[in-house]
A and B are shown apart, each in its own frame.
Chain A
Amino acid sequence: LQKALGDAETCRAMSEVAVPEMMMPPPAVPAACQVEKTVPGPGMGDFSYVGIDAILEQMRRKAMKQGFELNIMVVGQSGLGKSTLMNTLFKSKVSRKSVQATSQEKIPKTIHIKSVSHDIEEKGVRMKLTVIDTPGFGDQINNENCWQPIMKFINAQYEQYLQEEININRKKRIPDSRVHCCIYFIPPTGHCLRPLDVEFMRRLSKVVNIVPVIAKADTLTLEERDFFKQKIREELRANGIDVYPQKEFDEDAEDRMINDKIREMIPFAVVGSDQEYQVNGRRLLGRKTKWGTIEVENIAHCEFAYLRDLLIRTHMENIKDITSSIHYEVYRVRRLNENNTAVAHANGLPQHHMTSHEM
């Protein structure tokens, strides 16, 4: 992210690969093999190359062959630019609207969960991207419990994974439909979070990684934006809402440092666009208005680039990791404990309550 912050100025529509700084290039010449916990014997002065680090290359090959999966959910009221933002993030028509036969947008009476999958490929890396849209969220007059269908959907994905995992004959690679990241769109009121926002984020932050963004940020001036962000951060803190990157999951000091910087910037104020315009001799994604053209990938204009870098270029693996090793495990523990007192009969086992073992 640090490198991306520095490079964002020179970002073009066709930018070069931003290699995360942590990654060292594989050694061109064999590196010395250090051995710990052993006693160097006589005549061992000149260490030669064993080749253990070749496993990195092997892993990379395997990853390229297998491909990756990513499931992103977008939540927010109609008209906040969710679909456009998805298209901008992945530079292609990945949103639900692009597969819908009807172009007219009817606000549904209830919340629908619509999931669209795409196979995308970049430089040999294949990814199955699933965008889960939630039309109808927050659009009704009475929005009580509007988080329920979403919560149900997320838990259903965990359930599906769990079922597959405890099968006796299970697949080599369990298809991962768990929601890795939920982008929550905050309308740019400029004041503070609405009760709906607080309620939703409070509940969902416990089961999924939430990334809040300020939608259509081109309606806020920079001062208004900063003020708004500060208020939001305060309110999140006051309500005990832990959004991604969660403080408690920082692995080490280095991690914490990087994530602290991010935490000072969230929520990102984003602008989405899939139209290109000519600016200073270059074709850039942007929004053209009478008073100027907003460049989406220009960090002086909006924070889209930060969001993209966070989600895709640096923290994608971490997001997936937290989903599988923390959120999913929490669900699993809860689910398995539920069934502790009533073991399933279906597999032919006699009913057996744990308390009836006193003989």
Chain B
Amino acid sequence: MAATEIARQAGEGARAVPLAGHVGFDSMPDQLVNKSVNHGFCFNILCVGETGLGKSTLMDTLFNTKFEGEPTQHNQPGVQLKSNTYELQESNVRLKLTVVNTVGFGDQINKEDSYKSIVEFIDTQFEAYLQEELKIKRTLHSYHDTRIHACLYFIAPTGHSLKSLDLVTMKKLDSKVNIIPIIAKSDAISKSELTKFKIKITSELVSNGVQIYQFPTDDETVAEINSTMNGHLPFAVVGSTEEVKIGNKMVKARQYPWGTVQVENENHCDFVKLREMLIRVNMEDLREQTHTRHYELYRRCKLEEMGFKDTDPDCKPFSLQETYEAKRNEFMGDLQKKEEEMRQMFVQRVKEKEAELKEAEKELHEKFDRLKKLHQDEKKKLEDKKKSLDDELNGFKQKKTAAELLQSQAQQAGGSTTLKRDKERKNFF
């Protein structure tokens, strides 16, 4: 085979060049797959739905195993998320599967905040990945990705329409995670009711602007099957881990007195479709959408919230981790400053009050002193007066004694002179 000459232009951009022989880079996909096989895969599913809708049973049925756990009680005070990780292996593929269950969803009397713990959980996983990505020394290669790749939303088989709790929750989750709505315990609905139910659900989702996950139709190999399946959403599933003998085979089924619902029979329920779509056809796309759409949105919002803007092309890159820390430290600094200010003000106030009180005290003392002085003066005055009175009294007493002495002398001198004396006395007085 001769090398063919192709007319070419001397350009900078990539030009298509034909190969003259076998080069060998068609083994690249194999090399890539090999690397992934050695590394292992991870997949994280979140099951949201009211207690008793068969979430755990469906997981068991999907992955053909019995995951641990007992059925939850209905008296949970709030919605909690319980996460379990399992290592599964099929031929040479190792899968680290994490199943997250919402415990207590829909059981409270007031369900306004039910969706919050779910949103928080999803955000926490994104945050953990973001933190790792922002680190200076990072190990993204061996990081165990806990971001939720698929959210199976379990709809109760009422046959009428979506509950408002469902609408609210799904609306809050549709920009954070790939939502795949499924009708749980669908053996409770008849076929005709089911069609109507599905149409009602789809139209309600559309009219409320809920973006559920669409199976991708851009790759020709799977476009057809994916677009067909998109029309079957939400899948009506039945889960069962018990086996019943049908014909000469053991199949997973639920046995009723009036018949047996076979899980893997496509006429009975959409379980096979769900398994096909979720695992066999679109698992990788679910992971990719989570990373390139939902995570990027979270990252963008978070960074913008923290006040970052994209740098100019000729500016040095900053370490997001460091500036994140710096921003946090700045915030703490501000907090401290405020605290300091408040403390200062408090001290100031206290000082002022103290001064005031001291003043008052001083005044009081002065007043006391004055009063005391006054009291003393008065006392002195009174004493003086008393003294003078005493003196007077003494004087008077002396006079009295002197007078009595004279009187007694006069009596001794004769009685004749008494008249005289009396007259004198009368004159004297």
Please judge, given known A-B contacts A27-B91, A333-B136, whether A344 and B316 are in contact too, CB under 8 Å. Answer: yes
A168 CA / B317 CA spacing, docked (Å): 12
Which of A18, A60, A130, A251 has the most chain B CB within a 10 Å cutoff? A60
Interface stretch, picked from A132-140, A186-194, A203-211, A306-314, is A306-314
| Cβ-based interface call for B396 (8 A) | no
Does A168 contact B303, Cβ atoms closer than 8 Å? yes
A352 CA / B314 CA spacing, docked (Å): 21
Which residue from chain A places its CB closest to the CB of B283 in the assembled complex?
A: A55
| Cβ-based interface call for A53 (8 A) | yes
Report chain B residues within 8 Å CB of A61. 219, 221-222, 284
Within 8 A of A (CB), among B290-344: 292, 296, 299-300, 303-304, 307-313, 315-323, 326-327, 329-330, 333, 336-337
Which residue from chain B places its CB closest to the CB of A4 in the assembled complex?
A: B24
Report chain B residues within 8 Å CB of A167. 310
A38 CA / B66 CA spacing, docked (Å): 6
Which residue from chain B places its CB closest to the CB of A274 in the assembled complex?
A: B3
Interface stretch, picked from B11-19, B355-363, B382-390, is B11-19
Please judge, given known A-B contacts A118-B15, A343-B318, whether A23 and B30 are in contact too, CB under 8 Å. Answer: yes
Q: Which secondary structure dominates chain B's binding surface? A: mixed
- Choose from B95, B242, B311, B330 the contact partner of A347 (Cβ within 8 Å): B311
Does A31 contact B219, Cβ atoms closer than 8 Å? no
Does B2 contact A24, Cβ atoms closer than 8 Å? no
A122 CA / B20 CA spacing, docked (Å): 11
Does B26 contact A123, Cβ atoms closer than 8 Å? yes
| Cβ-based interface call for B34 (8 A) | yes
| Cβ-based interface call for A195 (8 A) | no
Which residue from chain B places its CB closest to the CB of A67 in the assembled complex?
A: B28
A15 CA / B296 CA spacing, docked (Å): 44
Does B284 contact A59, Cβ atoms closer than 8 Å? yes
| Cβ-based interface call for B369 (8 A) | no
| Cβ-based interface call for B377 (8 A) | no
Report chain B residues within 8 Å CB of A124. 26
Please judge, given known A-B contacts A336-B322, A350-B330, A359-B337, whether A38 and B65 are in contact too, CB under 8 Å. Answer: yes
A53 CA / B64 CA spacing, docked (Å): 14
| Cβ-based interface call for A156 (8 A) | no
Report chain B residues within 8 Å CB of A63. 28-29, 32-33
Report chain A residues within 8 Å CB of B16. 118-121
A50 CA / B3 CA spacing, docked (Å): 48
Does B26 contact A92, Cβ atoms closer than 8 Å? no
A350 CA / B329 CA spacing, docked (Å): 12
User: Interface code A167-181, partner B: CB below 8 Å = 1, 0 otherwise?
Assistant: 111101000000000
| Cβ-based interface call for A293 (8 A) | no
Which residue from chain B places its CB closest to the CB of A352 in the assembled complex?
A: B326
| Cβ-based interface call for B8 (8 A) | yes
Between A and B, how many residue pairs show CB distances below 8 Å?
Answer: 310
Does A23 contact B242, Cβ atoms closer than 8 Å? no
A123 CA / B17 CA spacing, docked (Å): 14
User: Interface code A330-344, partner B: CB below 8 Å = 1, 0 otherwise?
Assistant: 001101110110011
Within 8 A of A (CB), among B132-177: 136-138, 140-141
Does B329 contact A352, Cβ atoms closer than 8 Å? yes
Does B280 contact A166, Cβ atoms closer than 8 Å? no
Interface stretch, picked from B35-43, B201-209, B254-262, is B35-43
Please judge, given known A-B contacts A50-B64, A336-B136, A336-B319, whether A59 and B33 are in contact too, CB under 8 Å. Answer: yes
| Cβ-based interface call for B63 (8 A) | yes
Number of interface residues of B (CB under 8 A): 102
User: Interface code A36-51, partner B: CB below 8 Å = 1, 0 otherwise?
Assistant: 1111110110111111
A66 CA / B381 CA spacing, docked (Å): 118
A228 CA / B69 CA spacing, docked (Å): 66
Which residue from chain A places its CB closest to the CB of B249 in the assembled complex?
A: A46
Category for how many chain A residues contact B: 35 or more
Give the Cβ gap from A315 to chain B, nearest Cβ, in Å. Answer: 8
Does A166 contact B320, Cβ atoms closer than 8 Å? yes
Please judge, given known A-B contacts A58-B282, A317-B28, whether A163 and B90 are in contact too, CB under 8 Å. Answer: no
| Cβ-based interface call for A127 (8 A) | yes
Report chain A residues within 8 Å CB of B329. 352, 357
| Cβ-based interface call for B402 (8 A) | no
Does B303 contact A172, Cβ atoms closer than 8 Å? no
| Cβ-based interface call for A22 (8 A) | yes
Within 8 A of B (CB), among A140-198: 159, 162-163, 166-170, 172
Give the Cβ gap from B244 to chain A, nearest Cβ, in Å. Answer: 9
Interface stretch, picked from B81-89, B188-196, B231-239, is B81-89
A283 CA / B3 CA spacing, docked (Å): 11
- Choose from B63, B93, B303 the contact partner of A53 (Cβ within 8 Å): B93
A159 CA / B315 CA spacing, docked (Å): 11
| Cβ-based interface call for B352 (8 A) | no
Which residue from chain A places its CB closest to the CB of B286 in the assembled complex?
A: A58
| Cβ-based interface call for A253 (8 A) | no
Which residue from chain A places its CB closest to the CB of B326 in the assembled complex?
A: A352
Does A94 contact B17, Cβ atoms closer than 8 Å? yes
- Choose from B23, B28, B243, B337 the contact partner of A68 (Cβ within 8 Å): B28
Which residue from chain B places its CB closest to the CB of A15 in the assembled complex?
A: B22
Knowing that A33-B89, A44-B65, A51-B275 touch, tell me 10 more A-B residue pairs with CB under 8 angstroms: A19-B27, A38-B66, A50-B64, A56-B36, A92-B19, A117-B12, A117-B14, A329-B138, A340-B319, A357-B329
11 contacts between A and B (CB under 8 A): A23-B34, A44-B66, A51-B280, A55-B283, A101-B10, A168-B304, A308-B23, A316-B28, A346-B315, A347-B323, A348-B307
Which 9 pairs between the two chains have the least Cβ-Cβ distance?
A317-B31, A117-B14, A58-B284, A51-B280, A336-B319, A313-B24, A123-B26, A54-B280, A344-B318
